[in-house]
Amino acid sequence: MQVQVRGKGVVITDALRAYADKKVNKLSKHFAALHAATVTQSISGKEHRVEVQLEGDGILLRGEDRAEDMYVAIDRVVDKLERRMSKYKERHKWHHRGAHHDHDSPRRMAVGDDTDEPEDTDEGKVLRRKRFAIKPLTELEAVAQMELLSHDFFVFENADTNQVSVLYRRADGNYGILEPER
């Protein structure tokens, strides 16, 4: 897997780059389809922040963590992603739909250019706009993608209804779906 390590306001040493590369490459054992990772490291005061985004054929996964040491932050975010990926694979082992469906290569669930367009920064204004393409997903696939992204909601085209729906995490730990009427 190709790993790009970059710093935001911090110089990345060769040792730190090699450590991040080695740790993130371990994640490819969960999904053979992973082909690229971006590791972004930054420092704010005494807090070291690491964000990892993984991409592959059928997967988009993001995680972040903070610690007082960059190496610890890398370890923590990789551990989080590893647990999330293991949970995803375990949960979906029994959801195979035919011989062509391989849990090591789930179909692409989140696609898009992931561009953020800054807006006015006045109070009460929209601060960020994100544009993305959506593909039809079952409700189960949408739940899986939301968990992989570690989001509290997920916008998707429901494959059963051909309508845009919003999946959200309820306070009780279950999920809800918003289905707009026209």
pTM of the predicted structure, to 2 decimals: 0.59
Give the strand pairing for 136-137 and 153-158. parallel
Phi and psi dihedrals of 97, rounded to 5? -125, 75
Are 163 and 177 spatial neighbours (Cβ–Cβ below 8 Å)?
A: no
Are 66 and 73 spatial neighbours (Cβ–Cβ below 8 Å)?
A: yes
The residue extents of the domains of the chain are: 2-94, 109-178
What is residue 162's three-state secondary structure?
Answer: coil
pLDDT tens across 62-109, in order?
899 999 999 999 999 999 998 888 877 777 665 544 444 444 434 333
Are 151 and 130 spatial neighbours (Cβ–Cβ below 8 Å)?
A: no
At CA 116, angle to CA 112 and CA 121, rounded to 5? 160
CATH 3.30.160.100 fits 2-94, yes or no: yes
pLDDT of residue 115: 35
pLDDT tens across 115-169, in order?
343 444 455 677 778 888 888 999 998 998 888 888 888 999 999 999 999 999 8
Of 3.30.505.50, 3.40.50.1370, 3.60.21.10, 1.10.10.60, the CATH number of 109-178 is 3.30.505.50
Which whole-number Å values give the CA distances from 4 to 108, 148, 164, in the listed order?
22, 20, 34
Residue 12 has pLDDT above 70, yes or no: yes
pLDDT tens across 119-129, in order?
444 556 777 78
Q: What is the spatial distance between Cα 167 and Cα 60, in angstroms, rounded to a whole number?
A: 17
